[in-house]
């Protein structure tokens, strides 16, 4: 994979992420790649091989960033469309109630007109033949006036609520249009970046492509070495914890407790371990399936689509995008990463994989590749943003 490495502002990294040994390894890796990849500028004005590699890598990174924006816009569009549909249904029901209230109000008005019910006056009483007639007329008039008032109140209420819901529906339709515009923009950006990257690669000769492949091979060898170093560090930490636990047990008072508390190993959480095993098993079963931006399975995935599906198989609901997944758990140092944890990359948090132990992860790398197992240092130690334990 082409290099995605980008400069990092000091102080922006999550505390505890980097370790001195890995930082030294990263510097060694940078020096090695610089010696291998550097190519002199060409006489014909064409970019050097190093420049092409960096440009292609940047384009893929930009495409992945646009993909996460696309995923966010797609999710927002779906939610907004559902809200609009609900509001429109509500407006339709309220409009029917408003029409019913209008008809009821009209029927009372017509009845008043037919019976002559209105404001009582002297003529009304003079037309009555008996005192009982006057009493009956007043009773009918009072009842009609009361019902008419209820009908008017109901009509006004229905009209007010209907107008309010129509306004909400209008605002939601406007927001939906904006979400759809964002979706189109993100989609166009992804497609443009991928097209540019393919065109750049198409301009390379067979010899240049072979040289790039050699550079990539050395890069992956260095990534594997870094993964092995992380595995060694984690094994030493686990051994130290076990030794501390044995010493603590030896100094206990016979009840299983002692005067000094020992921090448990992160891997002793059996509940998390069980869920992590299910998530990893799912992710492993997807190996070989193609990366497709915006995809959530089952036939293809993008990076966050894969991690979301994997943890869903373990009964844990993760958000859709990397931007939200990075906040869906507890951040831990790389040195304490355990199987099932999510590993995030780059300052803009646009890539994610699921850690499987020994410095390795399963992830959906980029367009044109397939879900695979790979070192978490596949793009250099400096590309690792953080590690998050989601459950």
SS3 of 294-310: CCECCCCECHHHHHHHH
Tokens of 100: 């019913």
- DSSP-assigned letter for residue 360: E
Mean pLDDT of all residues in the chain?
Answer: 80
pTM value is: 0.69
Distances (CA, A) of 34 to 195, 215, 284: 27, 10, 34
Residue 1 has pLDDT above 80, yes or no: no
Q: How far is residue 344's CA from residue 361's CA, in Å, rounded to a whole number? A: 11
CA distance 265 to 1: 35
Q: At residue 258, does pLDDT exceed 60? A: no
pLDDT digits (tens, 9 = 90+) for 204-242: 989 998 988 888 899 899 999 999 999 999 999 889 988
Alpha-carbon distance of 181 to 326, in angstroms, equals 26
- Residue 34: pLDDT above 70? no
Is residue 334's pLDDT more than 90? yes
Q: Kindly list the catalytic residues.
A: 303, 351, 363
For residue 268, name the pLDDT band (cuts at 50, 70, 90): very low
CA distances from 310 to 70, 80, 327, 369 (A): 21, 26, 17, 19
What is residue 9's three-state secondary structure?
coil
Secondary element (H or E) of residue 239 = helix 206-250
Cis, peptide link before residue 58, omega less than 30° from 0: no
Q: Which long-range contacts (CB under 8 A, 24 or more apart) does 366-370 make?
A: 366/1, 366/60, 366/63, 366/64, 366/291, 367/60, 367/63, 367/194, 367/291, 367/292, 367/293, 368/291, 369/1, 369/290, 369/291, 370/287, 370/288, 370/289, 370/290, 370/291
């Amino acid at each position: 994979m082409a290099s995605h490495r980008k400069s990092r502002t000091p102080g922006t990294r999550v505390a505890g992420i980097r370790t001195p040994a890995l930082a030294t390894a990263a510097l060694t890796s940078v020096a090695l790649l610089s010696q291998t990849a550097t190519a002199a500028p060409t006489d014909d004005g064409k970019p050097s091989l190093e420049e092409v590699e960096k440009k292609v890598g940047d384009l893929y990174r930009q495409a992945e960033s646009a993909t996460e924006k696309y995923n966010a816009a797609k999710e927002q569009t779906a939610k907004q469309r559902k809200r609009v549909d609900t509001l429109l249904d509500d407006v339709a029901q309220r409009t029917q109630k408003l029409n019913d209230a209008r008809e009821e109000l009209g029927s009372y008005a017509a009845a008043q007109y037919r019976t002559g019910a209105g404001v009582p006056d002297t003529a009304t009483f003079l037309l009555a033949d008996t005192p009982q007639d006057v009493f009956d007329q007043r009773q009918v008039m009072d009842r009609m006036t009361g019902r008419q008032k209820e009908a008017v109140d109901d009509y006004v209420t229905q009209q007010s609520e209907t107008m309010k819901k129509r306004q909400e529906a209008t605002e939601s339709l406007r927001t939906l249009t904006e979400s759809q515009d964002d979706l189109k923009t993100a989609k166009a950006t992804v497609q443009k970046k991928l097209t540019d990257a393919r065109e750049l690669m198409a301009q390379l000769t067979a010899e240049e492509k072979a040289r790039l492949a050699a550079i990539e091979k050395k890069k992956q060898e260095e990534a594997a070495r870094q993964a092995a170093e992380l595995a060694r560090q984690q094994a030493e930490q686990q051994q130290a914890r076990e030794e501390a636990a044995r010493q603590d047990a030896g100094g206990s008072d016979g009840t299983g407790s002692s005067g000094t508390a020992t921090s448990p190993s992160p891997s002793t959480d059996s509940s998390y371990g069980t869920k992590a095993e299910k998530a990893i098993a799912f992710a492993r079963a997807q190996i070989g399936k193609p990366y497709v931006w915006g995809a959530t399975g089952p036939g293809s995935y993008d990076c966050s689509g894969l991690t979301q599906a994997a943890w869903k198989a373990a009964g844990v609901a993760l958000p859709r995008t990397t931007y939200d997944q990075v906040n869906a758990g507890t951040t831990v140092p790389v040195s304490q990463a355990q199987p099932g944890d999510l590993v995030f990359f780059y300052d803009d948090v646009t890539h994610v994989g699921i850690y499987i132990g020994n410095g390795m992860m399963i992830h959906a790398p980029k367009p044109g590749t397939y879900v695979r197992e790979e070192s978490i240092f596949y793009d250099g130690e400096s590309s690792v943003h953080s590690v998050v334990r989601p459950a």
